[in-house]
Amino acid sequence: MKIAIGSDHAGFEYKEQIARMLRDLGHEVKDFGAYSTETVDYPVFIRPVAEAVAAGQFERGIVLGGSGNGEAIVANRVKGIRCAVCWNLESARLGRAHNDANLISLGQRMITVETALEIVRVWLATPFEGGRHLCRIQMIDA
């Protein structure tokens, strides 16, 4: 699978470990930055991940920050993106199965790295259950 990944400074360390795990599992990964723990403005790195997934260049995307909330907000402003904030395995499974999440957002300050890695594994392995649970709404540009 082709996966885009990006973070701000607060999610950098987990991003590096997740990208390494994904490559070890045989996935193609593009890192959109940030490239260190030096303070950055997170939308600069998150929006390009969401845009690349929305454009079909990547099948899925992962964004990271301190809590994951701001990253999800930025990602979800891109038409065609369904980004779920995941803080445990069940939120990852349901985000995929019920909401067809094509991006997930993780908070490095909220979970352990082991949990983050397992969330990614669960999210990648969970199929979308189809229209049974999803009520798609038409996006209106503000």
Residues annotated as part of the active site? 71, 98
Please tell me the distance from the alpha carbon of residue 67 to that of residue 94, in angstroms, as a whole number. Answer: 19
Please tell me the distance from the alpha carbon of residue 51 to that of residue 80, in angstroms, as a whole number. Answer: 9
Give, in order, the Cα–Cα distances in Å from 116 to each of 38, 56, 63, 93, 122.
21, 25, 11, 13, 10
